Structure 1
Amino acid sequence: MNYYNLLQQQVKEHPDKLFFVVDDTEYTYADFQKLTDELSNDVTGIHPGDDVLLLADTPALQLAAFLALQHLGARPILAHKDMGAELDAVQHENELQGLVQVTKQKGADGTEGAPDVSFVPTNLPQQPHAELDILGVLSSGSTGTPKVMYRTYDSWAGFFPTQDEIFSVGEDTVMFLHGSLSFTGNTNSLLSVLYEGGTIVTSSHMRCHRWAKLLHHYDVNCIYLIPTKLVLLAEALHGVDTFPGVCTLFTGSQLLTPPMITDIMELLPNAQLILYYGASELNYITYAIVDSPYRPPENLGHPFPGVSISIQDGLIYVDTKYHVSGVEIPFSVHDTGSINEKGELIFGGRTGAFVNRGGVKLNLLKLETELQSLPGIREAVALPTKDETRGEGVEVFVVKEPDIPEADVRMTIRHGIPNAEMPDKITFVDEMPLNDCGKVDTERLENRKE
């Protein structure tokens, strides 16, 4: 079983139902199978069992090519558009069989033409898989060349009934999400809607007012966005628009501060807000119903049904049967935390998100949360710095409210942050650069030009 087979099943049940919307382009389930089959016919040189990196221009082409490769018996691995020179290293270090590229084409009259499909093989031999893997995902948040982690069909689809009940995803769901499918949160959410026979709405553009039109036009009732994008949407539409028809919002990957929650609740007055904690290796781990802006942001709630957590030497360990192939359970992604008397997970930060400054251990996640709770600050990112003389330090990047002077924000930080946590340097930026997954691109922040 794979996700192309799942698409076939949905086509048999409701071929004319709206499945996938990208801006002003609509696909029924039958339309999308037609697009997928066309791409299957256009790819040459692929063999069953090949592990293939996939790079495509648009959300529709990403998904269609992903399903087409499964139809051909290959294992697709969606690549980030911003990988650039890393593409070759990913293929060779992970012993992949090649790269499929799908490029959107336009005719001389400006109308969209048939996509251009190419396959460049590496001529590396296929590697055996101990599990019935059908796709690969790229590791995130690590240094060096991203590693490919493989998944069976059941490792995601087997958990859909559980997560979909909690996220209120079903046949009547019209879900809005945004960003590359190379971000596993997007892929998982989309495939869960395919599993239920619902509808996905998305956009190729990073324009919140365009998103708002889509939300209204298609009566979106469920949203999956990471906090960074939720903040952008709430700020763009503050005092201008709300979406009372949205019943569920689920989000993760970053903690939610009180100002964020307040803005989101105003934007989505009737939505149940669910904050989840998960990992690319392990699916969803815990979730919390957010019913107040003033809840502790580090409280990540209770484990999902069938998932158990424990703490060993300060690290979070997870026991679940839904995970990437080849990992030993219980597994830790090296996040720190604790479990309170109610059985809720209290997040302590990632092991790499600490700085030892003059013998004092600083939690960068805690510092970011404190900064974002201060008036006048929209976003804050804390990054470690190194000085040959002084050792480790902290630089924070701040997006301030436009009508507040920088000097006032600096003064607010001096009075609002304990002396032991005071950053060594404060840098103001107009906006946080985002990577292809929609997360803050810390490398671009570090390499910025003054």
Structure 2
Amino acid sequence: MRTVLADAFTDVLARHGDRVAVTDADGLLGYAELADRARAAADRLTRYNLGDEPLRVGLYATNSVEYVVAYLATLFAGAVPFLTDSAFGPFELSRITEDCGLDLLIHAPSADVRAVADETLTDDGEFGYLTVSRVRRHDAPRPRLLDDTEVCRFTSGSTGRPNCIEFSGAAVSAAAANWAKGTGLSAEDRIACFAALSNGLAFNTSLLAAFLPGAALHLSHGLPTASRVVRLLESTAATRLVAFPALYESIVRRSPKEGFAAVRTAISSGAPLRDAVREEFTRLTGVPVHNYYGVAETGPLTYAADGAGSGLGAPLPGVHLLAEEQGIRVKSESMGSRYLNAPGLFEKRVDAEGYYHTGDQGHLVDGTLHLTGRTSRLVNVGGRKIDPIEIADVLRTASGVLDAVAFEAENQHGEPTLAAVVAVEPGVTAQSLRTHCAATLPSFKVPGILRLVDRIPANSIGKPSIERLRRLLSDPETN
């Protein structure tokens, strides 16, 4: 039965009824009001169910109060929410709806869903400004969900098909409870969250985890610039800041003089935060940055409670972590079950002892995890794992391209970004290649740095020389 999360939310919404639950730039809802809105929207969703199986509902929107209402409504309706990154473009959205057999899509009215939506459904405002569309049916049978699956989330995947991770309600509930316990989250906390709720950083730290003790969740619309962060922190007197490393880099460059008076904790994850940035942020604001390590497939794993060292902290409750020569293996109470649309792939990464092989390398020093690299080819840009082989393959399909290599590099601010060196015929421009990539890839997979060359530099055995490719990026003629 898919009731673990519905029961958990029913309990916390009733228990904290008069407190502020969630806010955005357009308004706020208390816990009791959130329960009423979500129940009304759930009643509407049940009317759209035309079959015996639970509805599969894609949530394809940016953070807002209405997003939280839609998420809870899906759970209360006995349906399964598929939390879809709003940065995914039409191409990947099409793959998701086909691979996962979605029934409905809840999305912003401006979202380009023409390739997947069959019709727009009417409602009485239960979903606020969000729109509900019925997804076009496909001829192929859809994969069967596990009986205990209550939430599905996505990794970046490869070949344009994001991997859909199935989570049981028990796993999602454990992730939230262990995070709240391991980080000391309390009813007095006010969380300013600048990571998308579809991403593990926000989903695990700022949704059910916030509601368990009765904390308030504050969401922001639009691009999370440093000035927008400061305004939200000031207007909400937030005690916790949740953001990706790039946002901390932006704040440090802006050198704010105010806005952080109430903040006690800043949380960073998704990619390593440079020590220099962490130290400068604390010097400017007086707020320690607590690193957090998690993997999409396993949930939150470690937390740096002191916020002073350069490591990623000690394992959270319910987590067993082994840092070995062959890489980091983890076993957690919040682990996903499998990939719905990639049979057998998840299972191959779990060994006979039940440990998931993360693909990261690192070591433990006095119980604190320190990452040193990757055992796999994936690169980490802004908290999203990207397969450079996929990017190179897409570039090679562009007119006038002879060869291409994609890899991780640093931009002008020292932040990780996706770079590509492309061998082209005369007349090909960087802009034309970016346009080509954007036609089939989401924006975060379009290379931030492009260097056009006559031929790809190779090493002595004929393979692309990454060292020479990186040197090319420092050329003043870089595109």
Name the TM-score, length of structure 2 as normaliser.
Answer: 0.70
Aligned to 1:81: 86
- Structure 1 residues 344 and 116, CA, compared in 2 at 3 Å: closer, same or farther? closer
Q: What is the aligned counterpart of 1:345 among 369, 373, 377?
A: 369
Give a deviation string over 1:297-323, Cα, whole Å, max 9, x none: 5x3333223322224552211122320
Given that 1:54 and 1:77 are in contact with CA atoms closer than 8 Å, whether structure 2 keeps it comes out as yes
Given that 2:183 and 2:305 are in contact with CA atoms closer than 8 Å, whether structure 1 keeps it comes out as no
Is structure 2 residue 135 aligned with structure 1 residue 120? yes
One-letter amino acid matched to 1:345: L
In the TM superposition, residue 52 of structure 1 has moved relative to its aligned partner by 2.9
One-letter amino acid matched to 2:368: E
Q: What is the aligned counterpart of 2:464 among 392, 395, 404?
A: 392
For 1:216-235, list aligned pairs within 5 A.
Answer: 216-235=234-253
One-letter amino acid matched to 1:53: G
Aligned to 2:228: 210
Given that 2:270 and 2:293 are in contact with CA atoms closer than 8 Å, whether structure 1 keeps it comes out as yes
SS at match of 2:40: helix
Given that 1:275 and 1:290 are in contact with CA atoms closer than 8 Å, whether structure 2 keeps it comes out as no
Give a deviation string over 1:110-164, Cα, whole Å, max 9, x none: xx97643222252665644445111101113645300111111221212433321
In the TM superposition, residue 242 of structure 1 has moved relative to its aligned partner by 4.3
Q: Which runs of 5+ in 2 are unaligned?
A: 111-126, 339-346, 380-387, 389-406, 423-454
For 1:12-411, list aligned pairs within 5 A.
Answer: 12-43=14-45, 44-46=47-49, 47=51, 48-56=53-61, 58-83=63-88, 84-94=90-100, 96-103=101-108, 115-122=130-137, 127-140=143-156, 142-189=158-205, 190-206=207-223, 207-236=225-254, 238-269=255-286, 271-289=287-305, 291-292=307-308, 295=309, 297=310, 299-326=311-338, 327=347, 328=350, 329-340=354-365, 342-350=366-374, 351-352=376-377, 368=410, 377-381=413-417, 383=419, 385=421, 388-390=456-458, 391-394=463-466
Query: 2 CA distance for matches of 1:285 and 1:179?
Result: 18
- Structure 1 residues 113 and 24, CA, compared in 2 at 3 Å: closer, same or farther? closer
Query: 1 CA distance for matches of 2:475 and 2:26?
Result: 39
Query: 1 CA distance for matches of 2:162 and 2:19?
Result: 37
- Structure 1 residues 120 and 275, CA, compared in 2 at 3 Å: closer, same or farther? same
SS at match of 1:158: helix
Given that 1:316 and 1:335 are in contact with CA atoms closer than 8 Å, whether structure 2 keeps it comes out as yes
SS at match of 1:89: helix
Given that 2:195 and 2:202 are in contact with CA atoms closer than 8 Å, whether structure 1 keeps it comes out as yes
SS at match of 2:415: strand
SS at match of 2:233: helix
Query: 2 CA distance for matches of 1:428 and 1:168?
Result: 49
In the TM superposition, residue 37 of structure 1 has moved relative to its aligned partner by 2.9
Query: 2 CA distance for matches of 1:23 and 1:159?
Result: 28
Query: 2 CA distance for matches of 1:306 and 1:205?
Result: 35
Query: 2 CA distance for matches of 1:427 and 1:66?
Result: 48
Query: 1 CA distance for matches of 2:235 and 2:21?
Result: 15
Query: 2 CA distance for matches of 1:82 and 1:114?
Result: 19
In the TM superposition, residue 267 of structure 1 has moved relative to its aligned partner by 4.2
- Structure 1 residues 385 and 162, CA, compared in 2 at 3 Å: closer, same or farther? same
Query: 2 CA distance for matches of 1:427 and 1:64?
Result: 50
SS at match of 2:260: coil
Percent of residue pairs identical: 18
- Structure 1 residues 428 and 103, CA, compared in 2 at 3 Å: closer, same or farther? farther
Name the TM-score, length of structure 1 as normaliser.
Answer: 0.74
Is structure 2 residue 474 aligned with structure 1 residue 426? yes
Given that 2:151 and 2:167 are in contact with CA atoms closer than 8 Å, whether structure 1 keeps it comes out as yes
Query: 1 CA distance for matches of 2:323 and 2:279?
Result: 32
Aligned to 2:114: none
One-letter amino acid matched to 1:45: Y
Given that 1:393 and 1:423 are in contact with CA atoms closer than 8 Å, whether structure 2 keeps it comes out as no
One-letter amino acid matched to 2:178: T
- Structure 1 residues 143 and 126, CA, compared in 2 at 3 Å: closer, same or farther? closer
Give a deviation string over 1:53-106, Cα, whole Å, max 9, x none: 222355222221121111111111011223222112112223x2323134359x
In the TM superposition, residue 199 of structure 1 has moved relative to its aligned partner by 0.5
One-letter amino acid matched to 1:348: T
SS at match of 2:358: coil
Query: 2 CA distance for matches of 1:19 and 1:331?
Result: 34
Given that 2:174 and 2:333 are in contact with CA atoms closer than 8 Å, whether structure 1 keeps it comes out as no
Given that 1:384 and 1:393 are in contact with CA atoms closer than 8 Å, whether structure 2 keeps it comes out as no
In the TM superposition, residue 346 of structure 1 has moved relative to its aligned partner by 2.9
SS at match of 2:251: helix
In the TM superposition, residue 261 of structure 1 has moved relative to its aligned partner by 1.0
Given that 2:324 and 2:363 are in contact with CA atoms closer than 8 Å, whether structure 1 keeps it comes out as no
SS at match of 2:317: coil
Query: 1 CA distance for matches of 2:93 and 2:417?
Result: 28
One-letter amino acid matched to 2:377: G
- Structure 1 residues 89 and 19, CA, compared in 2 at 3 Å: closer, same or farther? same
Query: 1 CA distance for matches of 2:93 and 2:470?
Result: 39
